[in-house]
């Protein structure tokens, strides 16, 4: 009897321990479920973006920055989209370490992005940066499968087309600002066509140079072009100096000739008028006019005479001398 009683008590003890174990496990399971529900239902959105909430794959809301709640256990999924951040894509180089002294790297894969053929069949190395913002997070997530890769591919295609329609010298010098503006406009139009929800903020051409292998020859060509431009400028300067001076001298000569012609014509007209007046006066009083003309002529001639000899046929002696010179002058 005693052995049977001990066996019965031991069975009771074992059954009680099992009940206690089952109860503790239930409490632990409930606690785990509660903690998991709380952990998967609370989330926060950073200040530089928004969160797209999907419920079984369907967008149900867009949450602003702050602390929010959603259905737990993966029923609602939050995807953060940096809508307030200016993003950038680099072409032809990569930023290794940003900061005050930013470090860049360039390798064979980046060179394939930046090497382009211009309209005059020259190869140049174009490095540029595309800066953009996400303005519609839903379209950015769903309209294109790989939006960032699509932005890179479209940017490279647009840049190659625009550079390929220009001269190499234009791309290397004065055409950089115009090229950046054209790329920005065309890239934005294509992205709007795809409804990607992206706004292009800026296209910046970082460095535009010839490839390293052809830089010496390119520099020689540039030096020759600069020398040609210098010679042309010097010739233009010389031409601008000589032609106006020659035109001024020609105008001066023509003006002097016109003045001399007017003077001679007026003088001839005056003499002709004077002669006509003399003829008229002579016809009216020949003797008086003849005497007046003789006296006027003597008034003009005698002041210039140094010595005057008067010859008179009736005089038989020494020839008289009329001294018209001033005292002290040589005779």
What are the start-end ranges of the H helices in the chain?
A: 2-41, 108-114, 137-142, 147-164, 168-172, 176-194, 215-284, 286-301
Provide the 3-class DSSP secondary structure of residue 87.
strand
Residue given tokens 């190659």 in the structure block: 160
Would 179 be classed as within a structural domain?
yes
Q: Which helix (H) or strand (E) holds 105?
A: strand 103-105
192: pLDDT strictly greater than 90: yes
Q: Which residue in the block uniquely carries the two structure tokens 């001399």?
A: 260
What CATH number is given to the structural domain containing 143? 3.30.479.30
User: Once rounded to an integer, what is the mean pLDDT over residues 112-124?
Assistant: 87
Res. 318: pLDDT tops 90: no
Is 324 within the bounds of a domain?
no
The band of 200, judged by pLDDT with boundaries at 50, 70 and 90, is very high
Both 222 and 206 in a single domain? no
Assigned domain for 168 exists: yes
DSSP secondary structure letter of residue 306: S
Answer whether residue 167 is part of any domain: yes
Reported as half-sphere exposure (CB side, CA atoms, 13 A), residue 69 has a value of 2
**CB count, 10 Å around CB of 17?**
10
User: The domain containing residue 48 runs over which residues?
Assistant: 15-81
Looking at 190-204, 269-283, 305-319, which range is the least confident one? 305-319
One domain, residues 169 and 95? yes
Nearest 5°: the CA angle 145, 132, 202 is 140
**Same domain, yes or no: 182 and 233:** no
Rounded Cα–Cα distance for residues 194 and 192 (Å): 5
Check: CB of residue 81 under 8 Å from CB of residue 49.
Answer: yes
**pTM value?**
0.59
Residues 265 and 205 occupy one common structural domain: no
Report in angstroms the alpha-carbon separations of 143 from 53, 152, 180, 205, 249: 17, 16, 26, 29, 76
Do residues 284 and 247 both lie within one domain?
yes
Q: Looking at the structure, tell me whether residues 74 and 91 fall in a common domain.
A: no
Reported as a single tens digit per residue, the pLDDT across 3-49 is: 554 565 565 455 554 554 545 666 777 777 777 777 778 888 899 99
Are residue 190 and residue 249 in the same domain, yes or no?
A: no
Q: Are residues 193 and 252 in the same domain?
A: no
- Taking alpha carbons only, the member of 65, 190, 171 closest to residue 132 is 190
Percent of the chain topping pLDDT 90: 33
Is 51 contained in some domain? Answer: yes
Domain boundary among 81, 105, 124: 81
- 131-177 pLDDT tens trace: 999 999 999 999 998 999 999 999 999 999 999 999 888 888 888 89
Residue 10 lies in a domain: no
Per the domain annotation, does 313 fall within a domain? no
Share the mean pLDDT of the chain: 82
130/192 same-domain check: yes
Least confident of 82-86, 198-202, 299-303: 299-303
66 and 167 housed in the same domain: no
Q: Which of 180, 210, 240 is the last residue of a domain?
A: 210
| Residue 317 belongs to some domain of the structure | no
Residue where one domain finishes, among candidates 149, 183, 210: 210
Q: Are residues 192 and 278 in the same domain?
A: no
- Asked if residue 290 and residue 254 are part of one domain, the reply reads yes
With a CB cutoff of 8 Å and minimum separation 6, the contacts of 204 are 128, 129, 131, 180
Say if residues 197 and 134 touch (Cβ distance below 8 Å).
Answer: yes
Give per-residue pLDDT as tens, 230-257.
999 999 999 898 898 888 889 999 999 9
How many domains, the chain? 3
């Amino acid at each position: 009897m005693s052995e049977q009683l001990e066996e019965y008590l031991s069975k009771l003890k074992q059954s009680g321990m099992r009940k206690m174990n089952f109860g503790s496990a239930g409490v632990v399971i409930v606690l785990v479920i509660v903690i998991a529900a709380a952990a998967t239902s609370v989330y926060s959105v950073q200040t530089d973006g928004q969160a797209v909430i999907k419920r079984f794959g369907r967008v149900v809301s867009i949450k602003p920055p702050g602390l929010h709640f959603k259905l737990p256990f993966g029923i609602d999924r939050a995807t953060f989209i940096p809508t307030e951040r200016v993003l950038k894509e680099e072409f032809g180089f990569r930023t290794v370490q940003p900061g005050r002294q930013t470090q860049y790297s360039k390798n064979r894969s980046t060179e394939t992005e930046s090497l382009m053929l211009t309209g005059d069949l020259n190869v140049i190395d174009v490095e540029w940066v595309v800066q953009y913002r996400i303005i519609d997070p839903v379209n950015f997530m769903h309209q294109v499968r790989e939006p960032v890769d699509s932005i890179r591919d479209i940017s490279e295609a647009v840049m190659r087309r625009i550079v390929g329609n220009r001269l190499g010298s234009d791309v290397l010098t004065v055409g950089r600002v115009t090229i950046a503006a054209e790329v920005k406009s065309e890239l934005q139009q294509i992205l709007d066509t795809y409804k990607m929800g992206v706004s292009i903020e800026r296209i910046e051409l970082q460095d535009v140079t010839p490839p390293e292998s052809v830089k010496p020859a390119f520099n020689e060509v540039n030096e020759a072009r600069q020398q040609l431009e210098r010679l042309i400028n010097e010739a233009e300067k010389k031409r601008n100096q000589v032609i106006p001076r020659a035109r001024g001298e020609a105008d001066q000569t023509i003006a002097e000739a016109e003045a001399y012609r007017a003077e001679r014509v007026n003088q001839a007209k005056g003499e002709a008028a004077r002669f006509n007046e003399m003829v008229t006066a002579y016809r009216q009083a020949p003797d008086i006019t003849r005497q007046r003309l003789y006296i006027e002529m003597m008034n003009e001639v005698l002041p210039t005479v140094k010595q005057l000899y008067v010859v008179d046929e009736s005089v038989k002696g020494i020839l008289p001398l009329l001294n018209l010179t001033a005292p002290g002058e040589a005779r």
